[in-house]
Amino acid sequence: MKILAVATQKGGVGKSATTQALGVVLANAHGRRTLMVDVDPQSSLTLACGVTAEERSLAEVLDGKAKLGDVLVELDKNLWLAPADIALANTELFLAAQLGRETVLKRALVAAGSRFDVCLIDCPPSLGLLTINALTAADAVLIPTQPQVADLRGVRLFLSTLEKIREVLNPSLETLGIVATFYDNRLLHHRDAIETMKAGGLPLLPVFIGRSVRVAEAAAAGQSVITYEPSNKQTAAYRELAEIVNQWLNDPRKT
């Protein structure tokens, strides 16, 4: 099983929507046994999958009270979710005092790894212990960002955080790349930000996710835009992004 964390400390940039869309496409179109893990106490991904708070959650796993397999929800053929709930906020405090606090998620995933081909971790918008756990468990990280010059400072800060994670916790962590979200090519400041990223040598992926109200509508309806509106332009963009992830999964350097 390869593990991809979808992360950055900035909020509202489409991390959860991207995780869900990738999960649906990798499971349905590529036939990958896909596990999505929601490590955000806000539980946006869990809710967008139509899973309610009554289900058991990842908090129990990280608290050592359950195994990952006990909390998984089967969403579709090849697609599972380890749901979040607000209890994860307490878990983050609990973890702080534990020995091996950065590797709790990694150990839980390794134990369940043979059941899946790929694991996608949807991170909270912070650099707290839950995100650190995700980046320590991951083989690679995907960084969504809105293409605005003001946000690029945050992206650079996040890239330097990844360097620290590599030095201390996870030397083999790859950067899959940065994906621009809410992109509108009619906006000069968006085009400027893209050019700035390219000129600065940032690892920008050649896929641009645009804004569509259908993405938010789909989340409110408990599904991804992929199934909600298959003909949507953003569905096509997410499929392109999933193709990049699929190629990375085929990369024999790691399995």
Ligand X SMILES: Nc1ncnc2c1ncn2[C@@H]1O[C@H](COP(=O)(O)OP(=O)(O)OP(=O)(O)O)[C@@H](O)[C@H]1O
Name which of Mg ion, ligand X, none residue 86 binds, using a CB cut-off of 5 to 8 Å depending on partner kind. Answer: none
**Does position 17 bind ligand X by CB under 6 A?**
yes
Query: From CA 168, how far away is CA 163, in angstroms rounded?
Result: 9
Contact indicator for 39, 95 with CB cutoff of 8 Å: no
Binder among 125, 128, 147, 177 for ligand X (CB under 6 A) = 125
> Is the CB of 7 or the CB of 249 nearer to Mg ion?
7
Q: Look at residue 166 and give its three-state secondary structure.
A: helix
Name which of Mg ion, ligand X, none residue 11 binds, using a CB cut-off of 5 to 8 Å depending on partner kind. Answer: ligand X
Q: Which residue's structure tokens are 């590529």?
A: 30
**Does position 126 bind ligand X by CB under 6 A?**
no
> Is the CB of 107 or the CB of 151 nearer to ligand X?
151
Pick the piece of the chain touching ligand X (CB under 6 A) from 40-48, 67-75, 127-135, 165-173. Answer: 40-48
* Both structure tokens of 59: 């908090």
Q: At what angle do helices 188-199 and 149-168 cross, to 10 degrees?
A: 30
Q: Which residue's structure tokens are 């990223």?
A: 197
For the beta carbon of residue 45, count every other beta carbon within 10 angstroms.
31
Pick the piece of the chain touching Mg ion (CB under 5 A) from 39-47, 106-114, 127-135, 136-144. Answer: 39-47
* Both structure tokens of 100: 């091996």
* Both structure tokens of 12: 């509202």
Query: From CA 26, how far away is CA 98, in angstroms rounded?
Result: 35
Binder among 1, 28, 34, 40 for ligand X (CB under 6 A) = 40
- Interface with ligand X in residues 58-117 (CB under 6 A): none
**Does position 211 bind ligand X by CB under 6 A?**
yes
Q: At what angle do helices 87-96 and 129-137 cross, to 10 degrees?
A: 80
Name which of ligand X, Mg ion, none residue 211 binds, using a CB cut-off of 5 to 8 Å depending on partner kind. Answer: ligand X
**Does position 212 bind ligand X by CB under 6 A?**
yes
Binder among 8, 16, 43, 78 for Mg ion (CB under 5 A) = 16
- Shortest distance (Å) from residue 148 CB to ligand X: 14
Q: How many residues would you count in the chain?
A: 255
Contact residues: Mg ion, CB under 5 A: 15-16, 44
